[in-house]
Structure 1
Amino acid sequence: MKYSTIKTIAVLVLLVISISSCKDETGPKVLYLGHTLPQTHPVHKGILEFQKSLETKSNGTLKVKIFPDAQLGSEREVLELLQIGSVAATKVSAATLSNFVPEYHILGIPYLFKDKEHQFEVLEGEVGKSILEKGSKFWLRGLCYYDAGSRSFYTSNKAIRTPDDLKGLKIRVMNNQMAINMVNSMGGSATPLAYGELYTAIQQGVVDGAENNPPSFVSSNHYEISKYYTLDQHSSVPDVLLIGTKFWDKLSEQEKIWVQEAADESAQAQKKFWSDSVEESMKIAKEAGVEIIVPKKSLFAEKSKSVVEDFVKEFPEMKPLVNKIKSND
């Protein structure tokens, strides 16, 4: 039996259990949460904080059942399960979410944020909250953002010190137009590829490198075959904790307050988990002989300006929001 078939059966069984549990009005409401990350990941640790906080606040009347490691499918597949109401919640990259909710495209703009402090001032302020709310019309209500760090280039055989070094290099990117345009604008050849295929692709020379944050660079073991890591930090795309509106709308006003408070508390805890993970990951990479390069980021930012210009031409209604973020108003 194929894995995809087994996974489909598992989801159907989960749906039956979910429906059955909903009928038991005397028991707790169970929030099924699926995501694609391993249990060692700092984002999963943040989700565990959400689980603990929600169950404590509700005195056990709201429980969270977590399915990590892509047990319920890819990020896109789990989002679709939220939309039809068979799964209550998930964590996905804002890049994936942008295929469902256009406003999330903004968060993938290269060099959008000045630094980490600016990023979370925006995400936890009026602008960030407005973007979270935009998903409700697509049955995907945003609860909070999780830190997913900054993405940087890593390569196997050639160091990237300036954008010119990207010329002729095939760089794996997510299947996201913003990421594709960014790498191409810098002179590289953007190559969308499934993340699970990337280790072998680098090893066999199908691609010359990729771009990701330090914890992912190390947890994927890509540091074993990519000996140059260039901290250009071209994008800081956050993860988003979401709840399907089909589940949300069944909650009482008090239950909604508990869910939102638990999400906000988990986001603060997750920042520390992320910071610790970045520190440990960089240590592992250095000890393995990876050359850490700190380039002049302004050179990369200058090359990627056309991506922002093209974006606001395609989505002129989002230009005021982009300007507001960049001005830190």
Structure 2
Amino acid sequence: MNLFTDILKVLVMLTVAILLSACSEFKKDSVSIRLAHGLDVQHPVHVALEYMNTELQRLSGGTMQLVLYPSAQLGSEREIIELLQIGSMGMTKVSANSLEAFVPEMKVFSLPYLFNDQAHYWNTLQGDIGQRLLAAGTQYRVRGLGYFDAGSRSFYTTKQEVHKPSDLNGLKIRVMSSQSAVEMVNTIGGAATPVSFGELYTALQQGIVAGAENNPPSFYFSKHYEVSKFYLLDEHTSIPDVIIVGTHLWDSLTAQQQTWLTEAMNVATEFQKQLWAESTAMSLAKVKEAGVSVVEADKSLFQASVQPIYDELKGTSIEPLVKEIKALGDSK
């Protein structure tokens, strides 16, 4: 019996040693990717990133995972991009607008009324044009992994309804810190006023700005509808969100790990599309319930008002890209 017990102990010890060795090897080969972004945990983008994490763990057999830092815990979009560039952060979600300083071609998405409809939008993003733009950031040490829907941006105001471009004349309209956004609002007739998103509720409440522009979910989840009771569905720009990865991280992954991450991104994109459509419908319903006047714009008036922006593109490096995107929409 003692011999049997001794043999059993040895077998148990060997088993434990093998398991510990396996665990050690797992830890050595596993990858935890830190991903920071500025949105609330209820936002469709964050929910889709959680879904992406689940998918990544499934594809990799538990050897890869995303560690999410929402709500701007680790800084602004630009600050996080800079962390990616030096390898201190793995991934982030940013607006294509925020990438203009790093990938100048991304400026094209800030052009008003660039897309005919949702089909044109996604054919551009998921086709050759969109993929080229994702790769264009490599020289800046960031690489686009894929796109999320960020809807279409529309105007909202605190004091008066807007029906036509002239209704914006002289009104201070908050825009992102982007030259393209400033030019668009000024061309339409407003007075573009850059304000950080975190300070915008107070700026609207105190009358520092008379309005802003954003998509319905952001308008709702930010609670800006509490101080802005007029929302014009003019849908002037459709600027996608971009999931980017630092080349420091990307180059450290094996080919298989890169494939798993890309596949998880593609699945999350399809999931997020549906989430975004549902969130947009819900957000518009909620703000209407809260007393917001939602007006359907005559888009032809606004399209005509921004024609000078397209006229100024003639002879620039962006003009061929615009023509390529427009041709894609016309080929349907």
**TM-score, scaled to structure 2:** 0.90
Q: Deviation of residue 99 (structure 1)?
A: 1.6
Is the 8 Å Cα contact of residues 45 and 272 (structure 2) preserved in structure 1? Answer: yes
State the alpha-carbon separation in 1 of the partners of residues 125 and 106 from structure 2: 11
Contact (CA 8 Å) 1:178, 1:307: kept in 2 or not? no
Q: How does 1:46-85 map to 2 (within 5 A)?
A: 46-85=48-87
* CA shift for structure 1 position 308: 2.4
Match of 1:327 in 2: 327
Give the counterpart letter for 1:125 in structure 2: G
Give the letter for the 1:126 counterpart: D
> Aligned equivalents of 1:312 and 1:82: distance in 2?
34
The CA deviation string for residues 98-118 of structure 1, in whole angstroms up to 9 with x for no partner, is: 121101101111000011111
Could you tell me how far 1:242 is from its partner in structure 2?
Answer: 0.7
- 2:256 maps to amino acid: Q
Cα distance in structure 1, aligned partners of 2:172 and 2:77: 25
Could you give the per-residue CA deviations for residues 206-255 of structure 1, whole angstroms, max 9, x where no partner exists? 11100000001011111111111000000000000011110000111111
Q: In the alignment, what sits opposite 1:8?
A: none
**Residue of structure 1 equivalent to 2:4:** none
Distance 1:88 1:109 in 2: 29
- The Cα shift of 1:46 comes to 1.2
The TM-score with structure 1 as length reference comes to 0.90
Q: Which runs of 5+ in 1 are unaligned?
A: 1-22
Determine which of 208, 213, 216 is the counterpart of 2:215: 213
2:108 maps to 1:106? yes
- SS of the residue aligned with 2:325? helix
Aligned: 1:292 with 2:272: no
**Over the residues paired in the alignment, what is the CA RMSD in angstroms?**
1.3
Distance in 2 (alpha carbons) for counterparts of 1:318 and 1:164: 28
Distance 1:254 1:27, change over 3 A: closer
User: For 1:50 and 1:312, how far apart are their aligned partners in 2?
Assistant: 40
* Conserved? CA contact 1:107–1:237, under 8 Å: yes
Which residue is equivalent to 1:224? Answer: 226
Kindly tell me: are residues 27 and 256 of structure 1, through their superposed partners in 2, closer, same or farther at Cα, counting changes over 3 Å?
A: closer
Deviation at 1:155, TM superposition (A): 0.4
Instruction: Measure the CA separation in 1 of the matches of 2:30 and 2:73.
Output: 23
Aligned to 1:259: 261
By how many angstroms is 1:306 displaced? 1.4
Other-structure match for 2:98: 96
Q: CA deviation at 1:25?
A: 6.2
Larger Rg: 2
User: Map of 1:34-49 to 2, 5 A cutoff?
Assistant: 34-49=36-51
* Mapping 1:1-329, distance limit 5 Å: 26-313=28-315, 316-328=316-328
Partner of 2:219, secondary structure, is helix
Q: 3-state DSSP class of the match of 2:28?
A: coil
Deviation digits for residues 294-318 of structure 1, max 9, x if unmatched? Answer: 11101101111112232455xx222
Is the Cα–Cα contact under 8 Å of residues 26 and 63 in structure 2 kept in the other structure?
no
- Offset at residue 177 of structure 1 (A): 0.7
TM-superposition CA deviations, 1:164-189 (whole Å, max 9, x none)? 10112110000101110000001110
Structure 2 residue runs of 5 or longer lacking an equivalent are 1-24
Partners of 1:249 and 1:200 in 2: CA distance: 43
Hey, what's the Cα distance between the residues in 2 that align with 1:148 and 1:246? 27
* Contact persistence 2:220–2:287 (CA under 8 A): yes
Structure 1: how far apart are the matches of 2:154 and 2:320? 27
Instruction: Kindly report structure 1 stretches of 4+ aligned residues shifted beyond 3 Å.
Output: none
Question: What is the identity, as a one-letter code, of the residue corresponding to 1:261?
Answer: E
Matched pairs, number:
305
> What is the identity percentage for the equivalent residue pairs of Structure 1 and Structure 2?
47
C-alpha contact (below 8 Å) 1:152/1:213 kept by paired residues: yes
